[in-house]
Amino acid sequence: MLSRLLPALSVAALLCAPTATLAASITVSTFSPTAFTTLLNTGTFVGEDFETLGTTRGEGEVAGPLSTAVGTFVTAGGVGSGGTVTGLPGNTGRHLALRDGNVFGRNNAVPVGGGWFLDSNDTAGMIWNVSVGGLFDTVAFVLSDASDVGAYLRITAGNLVHEVRTGGALPDGSDRLVVVSFGQAVAAAQIALVNYTAFGGGTLARNDGFSVDGAQVRLSPVPVPAAGLLLIAGLGAMAAVRARRKA
């Protein structure tokens, strides 16, 4: 009987063997609605486009962490004092802000026809603590108007680092699709979007505002435990043996 079980057990062992993980990476490309839709077709995503939050809370600063469907967002520090801050009544420049419309080149990107987005509010940047109540392997978002007034925006996720610009300032109002792949399933992650005064170093920089919209988190399928696969294969083999004996 053991000899008859071996083929099924071998298949189960193959299914249980760890698969090669994809390399972790941060990629930044020109945003387009088509590219965004193509990304969403690669799996099951949980998203936050700030439309409901904006409509509910209204335009203005968000004191403390902003809770969303994809985790929390909080300022990276520094007090903004540029036109972004002075142009919003009651704005202190100490927190992130929900915005509607056009703010010095920042606009809604997702969904098409929407209006709301999350603005750095001329602070040094923002920290996204990603959490969706389950495992995920990739996050993505639209980054707008970054690094156009002197600052060097740096994206950091664990050991991954990506400089949005390496040389001259980027065009005003440019939209970029940022995709962070962790190479494996994770339960939590932190994405830092922080402005610095120099490429690869420097101190925190303020008053070069940017925005985030269309934040997306791709869920990872829950794997069947190895022991469960072995049990299923073993039971199937035993059932096959019994069927042969009856025949």
pLDDT of residue 14: 30
Strands 152-157 and 71-75: what pairing? unpaired
pLDDT of residue 15: 33
Residue 217, H or E segment? strand 211-219
Examine the pLDDT at 16 and tell me if it is beyond 60: no
The larger pLDDT score, comparing residue 222 to residue 241, is at: 222
The larger pLDDT score, comparing residue 209 to residue 9, is at: 209
Q: Are 7 and 227 in contact (CB under 8 A)?
A: no
Examine the pLDDT at 226 and tell me if it is beyond 90: no
In which band, very low, low, confident or very high, does the pLDDT at 242 lie, cut at 50, 70 and 90?
Answer: low
In which band, very low, low, confident or very high, does the pLDDT at 9 lie, cut at 50, 70 and 90?
Answer: very low
pLDDT of residue 235: 46
In which band, very low, low, confident or very high, does the pLDDT at 221 lie, cut at 50, 70 and 90?
Answer: confident
- Sign of the Cα pseudo-torsion (83, 177, 127, 196, in order): negative
Tell me which residue has tokens 């909080």: 74
pLDDT digits (tens, 9 = 90+) for 141-169: 999 999 999 999 999 999 999 999 999 99
User: Is cis: bond before 89, omega within 30 of 0?
Assistant: no
Give the least confident one: 1-15, 109-123, 164-178: 1-15
pLDDT of residue 185: 98
Mean pLDDT of the chain: 87
21-246: CATH number: 2.60.120
In which band, very low, low, confident or very high, does the pLDDT at 26 lie, cut at 50, 70 and 90?
Answer: very high
Every domain of the chain and the residues it spans: 21-246
CA geometry: angle at 48 spanning 47 and 53, to 5°? Answer: 150
pLDDT digits (tens, 9 = 90+) for 54-106: 999 999 999 999 999 999 999 999 999 999 999 999 999 999 999 999 999 99
Counting residues of the chain whose pLDDT is more than 90, the rounded percentage is 80
Please state the pTM of the whole predicted model.
0.83
Half-sphere exposure of 56 (CA within 13 A, CB side): 7
Question: What residues pair up with 186 in beta bridges, in sequence order?
Answer: 136
